[in-house]
A and B are shown apart, each in its own frame.
Chain A
Amino acid sequence: QVQLVQSGAEVKKPGASVKVSCKASGYTFTSYGISWVRQAPGQGLEWMGWISAYNGNTNYAQKLQGRVTMTTDTSTSTAYMELRSLRSDDTAVYYCARAELPHYGMDVWGQGTTVTVSS
């Protein structure tokens, strides 16, 4: 079945970096893109960006430009999201989701990865 499986929970100190992985299976990885969405505790959803698994083109949310990098490894059908210079307000559940294009509906979601930023 089509699924996205994310890496495990992370605890980081302010100023550090985190890299979350998202392994796809059950479909042709390069036929879709991957969006990343985060959700702070008790808050709503925030779109972070999108990467094409076909050619690596990216589209990032303006507020995260310069701190976030999204990549893919087509040999393992895995997408990665790296967030640098972590702050306490980056504490959230991070989701990857399949999306053909940035503005298309996200039809398959990973289980979420909790990232906690605390000194």
Chain B
Amino acid sequence: QSALTQPASVSGSPGQSITISCTGTSSDVGGYNYVSWYQQHPGKAPKLMIYDVSNRPSGVSNRFSGSKSGNTASLTISGLQAEDEADYYCSSYTSSSTPVFGGGTKLTVL
């Protein structure tokens, strides 16, 4: 199963909104509502930010939101803050009955 496609990097200024895309196929992103997003700071374990396309776990800021259209899922971060600078990974269930991760996106807060 090929990795999902994410932009290598995105950037934004404090207070702005950014969107990270995650493109797959009808055999993964497009076929199931099981897309998750993870935030990872350097040297730390990943943290679940969004599950089932658009649901936020308890404790995750409502500045983070998820959506999906066709074979592309998106993570939007509004009101960008310095602490949001991190790597972000999407993950989707696949027709092989296993999940697959995206290649990751480095978010830089300018």
Contacts and interface: CB of A to CB of B under 8 A. Distances in A.
A46 B102 CA distance: 9
Contacts of A106: 36, 38, 46, 48
Q: Is the interface of A mostly helix, strand, loop or mixed?
A: loop
Contact of A44 (B3, B47, B97): B3
Contact of B32 (A103, A111, A112): A103
Contacts, number: 61
A45 B46 contact: yes
Contact of B48 (A61, A62, A107): A107
Contacts of B104: 44-45
Interface residues of A, number: 20
Interface stretch (B15-23, B69-77, B78-86, B88-96): B88-96
Contacts of A47: 91, 98-101
Interface string A43-85: 0111100000000000101100000000000000000000000
Contacts of B91: 45, 47, 105
B45 A102 contact: no
Contacts of A109: 45-47
B93 to A, nearest CB: 4
B45 A44 contact: no
A45 B48 contact: no
18 contacts: A44-B101, A45-B40, A45-B46, A47-B91, A47-B98, A47-B100, A61-B98, A95-B46, A102-B93, A103-B32, A103-B93, A103-B97, A106-B36, A106-B46, A109-B45, A109-B46, A109-B47, A110-B45
